[in-house]
Amino acid sequence: MHHKESVYFEDVAVGQEIPSFVRKTGVMEFNRFAAANEEFVPFHMEDEPAKPFGVDRAFGMGNLRFEYVHGMLTSWIGQDGWIKRVGTQYRGYNLKDQTLTCWGKVTKKYEEDGLHLVDLEIGVNNEKGENQGPGFATVVLPARHAH
C-alpha cells in the first residue's frame, strides 16, 4: 500500500468516485489490528462472547473500519495532501469473514483560509452492498497554481 502520486485540486471533479479500499475481515486482520491498538476484546476474538449482540460470530473493531477509511483517503490523496476531517457511523456488525469496500465520492470543492478543500461522501459496504459506515470527509489537496 503506497501513497500514489499527488492528486491536485484542479484535477478533482464533483461527482468523481475515488479508488475504493477493499479488505477481508478475517481473524488475521482482526488480530493484527488488536495487536496494534491493544484492543483484545473477547467479542472481537471469539464467537461466543459476540452472541449477546444478536450475532452468531466474532465481529471486527469499529476502529478498524475507521482505520480502513483513513487508508482509502491517504492512498488516494498522496503525501502532499492531508485529511482534515473524517467521520463514520458504525451500522451493524462487521462479522468475521466478510469483505468491506470503502468508497468515496466528491461532493464539493472549494477554497477556504488559503486551503484547497474537497468534501466527500464516504461509506463502507459489506459484500451484500449494505453500507455499514456512512460518513463524510474533507481533505486538503495541493494546487498546481496556488492563488
Q: How far is the CB of 9 from another protein (least distance, A)?
A: 15
- Which residues, numbered 19-38, are part of the site for another protein (CB under 8 A)? 28-29, 32-33, 35-38
- The two beta strands, 17-24 and 99-112, are antiparallel
Of 70, 99, 101, 121, which lies in the binding site for another protein, with binding defined by CB under 8 A? 70
**Residue in 17, 24, 31 with CA at minimum distance from that of residue 123:** 17
Choice between 103 and 132, CB closer to another protein = 132
- The answer to whether the Cα torsion of 62, 63, 66, 72 is positive or negative is negative
Q: How far apart are CA 59 and CA 124, in angstroms?
A: 15
Among positions 8, 20, 39, 143, the unique one binding another protein when judged by CB under 8 A:
39
Give 8's DSSP letter. P
Least Å distance, CB 112 to another protein, is: 14
* Cβ-contact 37, 60 below 8 angstroms: no
The amino acid at residue 51 is K
The 3-state DSSP class for residue 19 equals strand
Site map for another protein, 89-118, x if CB under 8 A? Answer: xx----------------------------
CB of 19 to another protein, least distance (A): 13
Cell readout for 138 is: 474533507
The yes or no reply on residue 86 touching another protein (CB under 8 A) is yes
Contact set with another protein (CB under 8 A): 1-3, 28-29, 32-33, 35-43, 52-54, 61-63, 66-68, 70-71, 74, 79-80, 82-90, 135, 140
